Homo-oligomer: A and B are copies of this chain.
Amino acid sequence: MARELAGKREIKQERAGRTRVLIARAAAEVFAEYGFAGASVTKITERAGLTLGALYFHFENKEALAREIVRGQPERVTPARESQGLQRAVDISLTWAHQLLEDPYLLAGARLVMEQDSFADPDGNSHQQWTTVFAESLTEAQRLREVRASIDVENVARLIVHACTGAQMQTYLENGRQDLPLRVGEMWSVLLPAIGTPSALRRIRVDDPREVMA
Contacts and interface: CB of A to CB of B under 8 A. Distances in A.
A173 B114 contact: no
Contact of A158 (B151, B183, B194): B183
Nearest to A189: B155
A34 to B, nearest CB: 12
Contact of A166 (B127, B183, B191, B194): B127
A194 to B, nearest CB: 3
A197 interface: no
A120 interface: yes
A50 interface: no
Contact of A162 (B125, B170, B173): B170
A10 B204 CA distance: 65
Contacts of A125: 170, 173-174
A207 interface: no
A37 interface: yes
Interface in A93-134: 113-114, 116-117, 120, 125, 127-128
A74 interface: no
Nearest to A114: B114
B169 A113 contact: yes
A172 interface: yes
Contact of A37 (B37, B165, B193): B37
12 contacts: A116-B173, A117-B172, A125-B173, A127-B169, A128-B170, A155-B189, A156-B190, A162-B163, A162-B165, A162-B166, A190-B194, A194-B194
